[in-house]
Structures are given as C-alpha cells and as structure tokens.
Amino acid sequence: MSIPSERIEYLYSIRSVRETNQCTDNLIEVDKLTNFDVDYQQFDSVADFVISTIKSKYPTDESLLTIPIHGRYQHFEGNNKPRLTDLIATQFKDLTDLEICKKLVDLFMVSVLLDAGAGNSWKYVEDDGTEVLRSEGLAVATFHMFTDGLFSSSIDDRYVVNGSKLAQLTTEEVEKGFQVTENNPIAGFDGRYQMIKQLGETLVANKVIFGQDARPGNMIDYLIANKAKSKTEKGQLKLDLDDLWMCLIKSLQPIWPSEGRIRLYGQVIGDVWYLNDRINLSKADLGIENIPEWSKVVTFHKLVQWLTYSLFLPLQKYGHFEILNSNYMTGLPEYRNGGLFVDFKLLTLKPDRLRQGLQFSRKVGFNPEIPTFTPENDVIVEWRSCTICLLDRLLPLVNKKMGITGTRYELTLPQLIEAGSWCSGRAIAKKLRVDGGPPIELFADGTVF
C-alpha cells in the first residue's frame, strides 16, 4: 500500500477521530485555542448541570443501568409515543430476529443520514396533531415515510428500503414527507434531497454489501458472512467495531457532497476539515513549513458515528452481535453537545471571531444576535474538535462526582451523551434563547450536523 493510500485509510478510520483531535485537547489545557477563550473553572458547573439532568430521569444508581446507548431509536419514540416499539410488536411480530434487524437497519440508515439540524422554524405534525421538532421531528418524519412505503420498491413489503426507489424519489415526494412549505422551511433541504438520491444510487451500485435488491439491511448478511468469524459463550456473533465502521464508511463514501469538502490525494473522504491548530502544531512537530496535506486535517465523521451508535441496538438485540472495541467511538461533534460548553462560557468566541460571525449572520439573514459560520470555517472546526475533547474529559468527572467510578453503574460515553450532555445542551439552549437554538449557528447544506 502506498503512503497516500495508507494516509487515506487512516483518515477513514474511527481511531483517527480521537487521535487527530488530540492537538485541540492540548490547547484547551493551556487556553491557547485560535478562536475561543477557555475558562476551565466552568467545567464543574457543566458537570453539575449534566448530573442534574441525568438524575431528573434516572434518580437512582439502579436506574442508571437502564440508560440506553445514544441512538436513533429513542428519537422515533419522541413525545413519549412508542411508534417503533409498537411497529415491531405488531407488524414485525411474525418475523425472525434477523429480518427485524435488517428492517431496522433499513430505517435507521435513511433516517440518520437525513438528520443534520432541521433549523429553528421547522416542525413535523402527525395526523393526531402531535407536533415534533428538531431531531425527533426528523426521525418521526422519516418513520412515517418508511411505514407509508415511500422508500420501498416492493409490492409485497412496504417496510423495506430499496436503493432503486430512493434514487427515483422526487423533490415533491420528499418535501411532502417532511411537510416542507413556505411557512415550514427545513434547513438544507436541497442537500438532504441530493443525499437521499445519492444513497439510493450507492445502494444499487454496491451489490456486494447491499445485495441485488439494494437494501441497507443486507449489510447484515455481508457482516455475518465476512466479518463475524466467531461466537461468544452466549452464542453471540463477535463483530469488531473496526469491521463494522469500515463497512459503513467505505460503502457510504460516494454519498458525501464534493462541493465545499476537502480532497486529499484526489478523494473526498467526508467529514474531514482543515484546522489551523493542527496545521500550526504539525509545522512545529515536523520542523518544516510545507507540511503534507494529511497532517493539516482533523476527522469527525459525525453522521457515520451517529449511524454506528444507532445500529448498536438492532445489531445487539436482533442481530445477536457482540460489538468489540466500541470504546473507539467518540462523543458526537454537533451543536447540542458543543453548545453546552459555549452556553456555560467554558468556551467563549474571541471578540474578532464574534464580530465576524455576527456580520455573517446579518449577511445571510439569520438572527443578528447569534454568530453564524459555514462548516469549513475554522471557528466551526475548532468548536467541533473541542466538543470531542471536552466530552472525553466530562465523562470521568461526571462519574467521579456521582460516586460511581469503578462500579457497575459507571456511565459509558454514549450513555453520558444520551442522558446527560445532549439533553443538557438542549435544556440550557432553551433556557437562554426563546427558539432553543444553538449559541453558534451553522450555515450549511443539511449534510454536516
């Protein structure tokens, strides 16, 4: 394998996310970030708020054991309506566990990849009048599109996703599915629409993983045949996270937009961005000014991580897999987790960056009191990088403060995100801003976060 190929393989890997962002963690420690000032004294306040959020729903140590992995399943049940649970209990009751797993993978893949922030104005209204907003709204919208058979090309089974059908979806069908109107705009609609079409074409093209009928769920057959080589004492199939991860990120590589994204050695890798902090540190470490491209970037792979986390439940419960080395996963670098640290003023935009963001907000017609940046802007990249690092720091502090370190109640990172940081980020945003939006806005195409 050539050096460029090795570097690209590394940047695709899940391990690269934590490792490439280590440079930011070092700068947080000494308050030397490019775009943010750091007040680390606020970290205790963040942890205390997160703990109060966790305890509001999980008040006892025993109840902590019931915290699910952060995943899409919970969003389908938004507003305390067991939509997916009821679907499994009724429509899927006569199916094998393997087929249930495949159907859930079908649904989850489409729903997660359409889950970039919907904006502050959009909502989804169910037939009974239930209004669902933001990420849960997107989940519920895709759930109903799935159950209505919008994603299926089968005349016998509407509860499947077929690539050929996704590739043929019209803008009118997708707009109707998301209830998009002039009075109910969704952020980045064009990007979402192009992504779902591109996903369809990708599923059709990759018959090795997605089969002749181009179903996301067929990747389960591929994993069983090619990656899950042994079983646990309980009969579960052992599946290494690296194998699951590379299956997802490589097979989905064609869906990422090329416009506005970095090309390394001729390839668009996805959620990978230049970061000035890393560029400066790489120059110092390598002792040269003209550093190679791979040493300038950080990787996030947020949507693939969100998909991977979401697939853990169907893979474990219905596919009977045991996922090995799941600790390679990181916190999700998105605006709820990241907004938590900004709203508590642990991270504060430097004055000149704030001015730039406010000027851009006015230019694009966003809230003039909230700074706005594009995804490739160094402010956004550094903010997302900080989010990964600070979540890694938050986990042991929360466990320590709750007195559960080293016990069977000790929280994992995806549990912390599910019950703590993500909900806390939403709660503090709602407390500080009428629309509950983030403290920093993203001017994006619906394919980032």
- Residue 140, in any domain of the structure: yes
Q: What is the mean pLDDT of residues 67-96?
A: 96
pLDDT of residue 329: 98
pLDDT digits (tens, 9 = 90+) for 122-177: 999 999 999 999 889 999 999 999 999 999 999 999 999 999 999 999 999 999 99
In this predicted structure, what is the pLDDT of residue 187?
87
Report the alpha-carbon distance of residue 128 to residue 377 in Å, rounded: 42
Domain end residue (candidates: 226, 256, 281) = 226
Instruction: Assess whether 197 and 302 both reside in one domain.
Output: no
Residue 115 pLDDT: 84
Q: Is the pLDDT of residue 41 over 70?
A: yes
Inside any domain, residue 449: yes
Cα 398 from Cα 416, distance rounded (Å): 9
At 282 the pLDDT is 86
pLDDT in tens, 82-96: 999 999 999 999 999
The DSSP bridge partners found for residue 37 are 348
Mean pLDDT of the chain: 94
* Residues 245, 207: Cα–Cα separation, whole Å: 18
User: Are 418 and 344 part of one and the same domain?
Assistant: yes
- Mean pLDDT value across residues 384-406: 99
Q: Is residue 104 in some structural domain?
A: yes
pLDDT band at 294 (very low <50, low <70, confident <90, very high): confident
Q: Per residue in 195-251, pLDDT tens?
A: 999 999 999 999 999 999 999 999 999 999 998 878 888 889 999 999 999 999 999
Q: Are 421 and 386 in contact (CB under 8 A)?
A: no
| pLDDT at residue 60 greater than cutoff 80 | yes
C-alpha closest to that of 346 among 25, 44, 49: 44
What is the share, in percent, of the chain residues with pLDDT greater than 70? Answer: 98
* Nearest CA-CA partner of 305 in 280, 337, 346: 337
Q: List the alpha helices (DSSP H) in 120-218.
A: 134-147, 163-168, 171-177, 189-205, 207-210
Do 434 and 331 form a contact (C-beta atoms < 8 A)? no
- Same domain? For 9 and 130 the reply is no
What percentage of the chain carries pLDDT values higher than 90?
Answer: 83
In a domain, 240, yes or no: no
Contact in structure between 374 and 448 (CB atoms under 8 Å): no
Centre a 10 Å sphere on the Cβ of residue 415 and count the other Cβ atoms it contains. 20
Q: Which domain holds residue 42?
A: 1-70+264-449
The most distant pair of C-alpha atoms in the chain lies apart, rounded to whole Å, by 64
Q: Would you say residue 179 lies in a domain?
A: yes
What per-residue confidence (pLDDT) applies to 445? Answer: 63
174 with 194, same domain: the answer is yes
Total number of domains in the chain = 2
Among residues 339, 202, 194, the alpha carbon closest in space to that of 259 is found at: 194
Q: Which of 226, 247, 275 represents a domain boundary (last residue)?
A: 226
128 and 24 fall within a common domain: no
Within 10 A of 354 (CB to CB), how many other CB atoms are there? 15
pTM: 0.94
Are residues 41 and 178 located together in one domain of the fold? no
In this predicted structure, what is the pLDDT of residue 449? Answer: 56
User: Is pLDDT at 74 greater than 80 in this prediction?
Assistant: yes
Asked whether residue 250 is domain-assigned, the answer is no
Q: Among 226, 242, 276, where does a domain finish?
A: 226
Q: Check whether 437 has a pLDDT greater than 60.
A: yes
Beta bridge partners of 133: 123
Please indicate, yes or no, whether residues 65 and 99 belong to a single structural domain of this protein. Answer: no
Please say if the pLDDT value at position 40 is more than 90.
yes
